[in-house]
Structure 1
Amino acid sequence: MKRPWTIFTLLLFVMPPLLPLTANGDEPDTATASESEWETLFDGESTAAWRNYKQDDLGSGWQVVDGALVKTAKRAGDIITREKFNAFELELEFKISPGGNSGVMYHVVETDGPPWHTGPEIQIQDNVAGHDPQKCGWLYQFYSSDKDATKPAGQWNKLRVVISPEGCQHVVNGVEYFTYKIGSDDWNQKLAESKFGKLPGFGAAGSGHICLQDHGDEVAYRNIRVRRLDKSFPTETSSK
């Protein structure tokens, strides 16, 4: 006897497998990403992708130590990627010293001021002994989280960030902290209320360098890679 075809049986053949959704209900960009889409910014050996801010080369204050890019000297200076990035996904690991502070900025352009005059900063710090009220993984003076997935100072943490005109996401050690949209009403209100509100062009470049901040404390980064997304921010600021 032939088994009758039911609607359920047919659906099993025609329906595609479901993918996990992000917090806003969209399919995650990483769902179809392949390893070939990633660009290595630091592989544990070469620093060719980096240079000091407004300099042609990487200074001696940042050194490769045991496969990590480490700020080893005072006044080492902020460093930036040689290339610029528009919409992207960034992954890296960081290790902060006890009481230490650093930051990862994006869409940095080279102006008369320092990198933080143009690029929003993802805070990196020791949440236990650090003195800044802005906690690790937050977007400095913009977005905060009541979650704290960071490991103690001296241990490695993983940061994943998606920066896209459709929405941005911060993830620390696999825990999503928040999402936001650059240029939204909420963003603009927070910008106006922050210390960055009077800086012309802050966060408005749409494309720029990724920056690792020298805040005076020892910090190490490793396994840094980036994946360009097929989306574009409107570019309002020209840069070097």
Structure 2
Amino acid sequence: MKKLLTLITLFSLSIVLGQEAILGETPGIVRDGVIVHPEYEGPEPTKPKATEFYEPKVPKVTPGTNGSPPSDAIVLFDGTSFDGWVSSKDGTSPAPWRLNDDGSMTVADRTGDIQTKQKFGDMQLHIEWRSPLPVQRDNQNRGNSGIFISGLYEIQVLDQNDNPTYVNGQVGSIYKQGPPLAMASVPTGEWNTYDIVYHAPEFNAKGEKIKSGTVTVIHNGVLIQDHTEIKGTTPYIGWPKNPAHGKGPLKLQDHGDDSRVSYRNIWVREL
């Protein structure tokens, strides 16, 4: 019995010593849902460091303030020019919207959509928009515009204040698909903020969708789309379609009804 107890003690000690030997500032791996040292093969750890890792280092990003872009952002519009934008009519002509003295841009009546020269896949997008005063018209013809991610999937922009409409077309909706969780607009004429996280759909070699895209939208600090599935394109008439695509431009809509929506402070972080 004494020999057996000695063997058990030595075995237990070897486990502990073995565990101690592998602890250190090295990359971790996931085993059974827990991050552990890559050489750890023992039973459940009895030391905290067995589930700690130090590589790869997390990149440092300096945050912006009051909506200004963080240090790793791509600034798409800073109020000084349309250098990064073109007309969506041909993808090459200069953007025909109005550049304002306050650092914003405004839809020029019936000139068509505009889009970025640069294309994006997964991204974090910050954009600010404002409906015009005085209030004009009602329903879908009041302060209507849209933010098209990948040039295909519309997040609705609309003056929703005291202005009922169909819920899957109201402000903050994935147009004709996903109503928002809440209506969080500021008063008409003030600046709204959208912070959007987009993950693109995936397609196989045959061009068939194998994974839907998703979008999360925070409107003025309120979560209104929570990792919502994008079922496909967002047409005014008909069902969503799923054409295979890669990265695409960010497109802003001219709704064609003298909506005169303004935008400012647009930036993207690629994910």
TM-score w.r.t. length of structure 2: 0.60
Q: Which residue of 1 is the match for residue 177 of structure 2?
A: 142
Alignment-derived partner of residue 193 in structure 2: 158
Report whether the alignment pairs 1:120 with 2:153: yes
Match in the other structure for 2:228: 180
Match of 2:75 among 40, 45, 49: 40
TM superposition shift of 1:62: 2.9
Task: Tell me: CA distance 1:124–1:194, structure 2 relative to 1, closer, same or farther (3 Å).
Answer: closer
Paired residue type of 1:180: T
Determine helix, strand or coil for the equivalent of 1:37: coil
State how far apart, in whole Å, the 1-side matches of 2:267 and 2:153 are. 19
Change (3 A) 1:105 1:192: closer
Equivalent residue, structure 2, for 1:225? 267
Q: One-letter code of the match for 1:224?
A: I
130 and 51 in structure 1: CA distance in 2 versus 1, 3 angstrom threshold: farther
In structure 2, runs of 5+ residues without a counterpart are: 1-46, 54-58, 63-69, 136-141, 201-212
Whichever residue aligns with residue 223 of structure 1, its letter is N
User: In structure 2, what residue type is equivalent to 1:124?
Assistant: V
Partner of 2:23: none
Instruction: Map 1:12-91 to 2 at 5 A.
Output: 33-34=61-62, 35-53=70-88, 54-71=90-107, 73-91=108-126
Matches of 1:91 and 1:195, distance apart in 2: 29
% identical aligned pairs = 29
Contact in 1 for aligned 2:154/2:234 (Cα 8 Å): no
Cα pair 2:175 2:234 within 8 Å, conserved: no
Deviation string, structure 1 residues 98-132 (Cα, Å, up to 9, x no partner): 32111000112xxxxxxxxxx11000001025564
Structure 2 CA distance for aligned equivalents of residues 131 and 94 of structure 1: 20
Question: 1:102 is matched with which residue: 139, 145, 164?
Answer: 145
CA RMSD of aligned residues (A): 2.9
Shift in Å, 1:207: 1.9
Change in Cα spacing, 1:194 to 1:36, as seen in structure 2 (3 Å) is same
Q: Which has the higher contact order (CA 8 A, sep 6+)?
A: 1
Distance 1:51 1:193 in 2: 22
Paired residue total? 186
> Who is 1:233 aligned against?
none
In structure 2, what is the Cα distance between the partners aligned to 1:47 and 1:121?
21
**CA separation of 1:213 and 1:65: change in aligned 2, threshold 3 A:** farther
Change (3 A) 1:154 1:32: same
Q: Choose 1 or 2 for highest CA Rg.
A: 2
